[in-house]
């Protein structure tokens, strides 16, 4: 299981922390991080930090030294007063999903400042969207959530606590196998192209369902990440096609095929949540080579708002579009 490193303040006066490593993912079996740790404590500049594990044992840290100059200047950090800014460079290994605590000195019991916590990225937005959308169809019980694009199964795992059944579809054979090997309850992991699997699945399901549509190529080693806003996941993600780089738009995003199948052939109530809506119609939005240009926002809006089955259709926030449909 891949974890993401999240920051939590322990000392409430620490205002802000940045690991400055791009994607901070902890892969199964552990990883070495070369981190540039910057943080702001309005009271003072901190001259020394040590990293310890949750039992208080110092971590095998190669160097925790003040950095003279920020490798990647962070606007927010630079805007802070000099006396409050602390920055260090550290190389440390994490072998297990343990909590790392940054202290202000090596002495036992010295002031803990903040922690780095391996965490499963928590789709709180999905929970919030569901609360709202479910209240718009209060008499309908949604027992099933279908997710397209499993990746590390973080969303599927969280959603399995909110639904009786989760079905998560992933094109990549390894990602699907890794997810299935986690042995999670109430989740069925299916391997395949969701543009093909969803048209089959809509006939299998015998009651209302939520569809969380999140399948799309999210990059691999062929991407020039230095020219990208998004830093990428620590594994290759899948796309259709014969392997040309970058893949064509239709090979990257199966959203149109998924939507056609649900609107045309799913017989029950559905809530459809489309992730990454801001990428619709764009090229190179999150990373160099990303291509959603075969889709148009106007075209999708006409289809979603124009269907005679549509109960509601709205943009929830920049990233998410939500649609409710009634049974056929
Ligand atoms: C953004 S990630 C999914 C993240 C995941 N839903 C979550 O919330 O943690 C997109 C995933 O879609 C997968 N994918 C790409 N094309 C696909 C397709 N045609 N069918 C199914 N999965 C696909 C990629 O391999 C990648 O793992």
Q: Start-end ranges of CATH 2.60.40 in the chain? A: 3-119
Architecture of domain 3-119: Sandwich (2.60)
**Can you say whether the dihedral through the CA atoms of 57, 63, 67, 73 is positive or negative?**
negative
CATH code that applies to domain 124-325: 3.40.50.150
Nearest CA to ligand 1 atom 15: 216
Nearest CA to ligand 1 atom 8: 155
148 lines ligand 1 (CB under 6 A): yes
The CA 276 to ligand 1 mean position distance, Å, reads: 12
238 lines ligand 1 (CB under 6 A): yes
Q: Start-end ranges of CATH 3.40.50.150 in the chain? A: 124-325
151 lines ligand 1 (CB under 6 A): yes
Nearest CA to ligand 1 atom 13: 149
Q: Measuring CA to CA, how many Å separate 24 from each of 1, 34, 174, 195, 267?
A: 14, 10, 21, 31, 42
Going by C-alpha positions, the residue among 50, 170, 29 that lies closest to residue 104 is: 50
Q: For residue 217, which atom of ligand 1 is closest to its CA?
A: 15
Cα–Cα distance for residue pair 65/304, rounded to 1 Å: 55
Measured in whole angstroms, how far is the alpha carbon of residue 229 from the centre of its chain? 15
Give, for ligand 1, the residue of 2, 158, 171 to mutate: max count of ligand atoms closer than 8 Å to Cβ: 171
Per-residue pLDDT of the chain (328 residues; tens, 9 = 90+): 788 888 899 999 898 888 876 667 888 778 888 888 888 999 999 988 999 988 888 888 888 888 877 766 677 888 889 899 998 988 888 887 789 999 988 777 788 999 988 888 889 999 999 999 999 999 999 999 999 999 999 999 999 999 999 999 999 999 999 999 999 999 999 999 999 999 999 999 999 999 999 999 999 999 998 898 888 888 999 999 999 999 999 999 999 999 999 999 999 999 999 999 999 999 999 999 999 999 999 999 999 999 999 999 999 999 999 999 999 9
Q: For residue 240, which atom of ligand 1 is closest to its CA?
A: 19
Going by C-alpha positions, the residue among 261, 134, 256 that lies closest to residue 204 is: 261
Cα–Cα distance for residue pair 291/184, rounded to 1 Å: 33
Count of CB atoms situated within 10 Å of the CB of 211? 28
DSSP-H helix ranges across 43-119: 75-78
């Amino acid at each position: 299981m891949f974890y993401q490193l999240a920051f939590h303040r322990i000392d409430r006066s620490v205002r802000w922390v940045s690991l400055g490593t791009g994607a901070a993912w902890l892969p199964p079996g552990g990883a070495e991080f070369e981190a540039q740790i910057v943080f702001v404590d309005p009271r003072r500049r901190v001259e020394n930090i040590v990293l310890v594990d949750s039992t208080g044992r110092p971590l095998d840290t190669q160097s925790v030294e003040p950095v003279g100059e920020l490798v990647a200047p962070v606007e927010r950090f630079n805007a802070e007063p000099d006396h409050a800014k602390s920055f260090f460079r550290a190389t440390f290994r994490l072998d297990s999903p343990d909590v790392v605590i940054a202290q202000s000195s090596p002495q036992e019991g010295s002031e803990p400042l903040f922690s780095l916590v391996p965490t499963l990225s928590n789709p709180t937005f999905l929970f919030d969207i569901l609360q709202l959308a479910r209240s718009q169809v209060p008499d309908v019980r949604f027992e099933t959530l279908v997710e397209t694009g499993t990746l590390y199964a973080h969303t599927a795992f969280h959603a399995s606590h909110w639904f009786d059944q989760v079905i998560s579809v992933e094109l990549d054979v390894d990602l699907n196998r890794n997810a299935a090997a986690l042995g999670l309850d109430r989740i069925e992991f299916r391997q395949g192209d969701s543009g093909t699997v969803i048209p089959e699945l809509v006939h299998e399901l015998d009651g209302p369902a939520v569809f969380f549509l999140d399948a799309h190529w999210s990059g691999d080693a062929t991407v020039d990440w230095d020219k990208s806003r998004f830093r990428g996941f620590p594994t290759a993600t899948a796309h259709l096609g014969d392997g040309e780089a970058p893949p064509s738009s239709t090979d990257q995003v199966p959203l149109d095929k998924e939507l056609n199948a649900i609107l045309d052939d799913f017989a029950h109530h559905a809530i459809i949540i489309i992730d990454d809506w801001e990428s619709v119609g764009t090229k190179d939005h999150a990373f160099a080579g990303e291509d959603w240009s075969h889709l148009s926002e106007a075209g999708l809006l006409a289809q979603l708002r124009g269907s005679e089955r549509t109960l509601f259709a709205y943009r929830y926030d920049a990233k998410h579009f939500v649609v409710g449909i009634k049974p056929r």
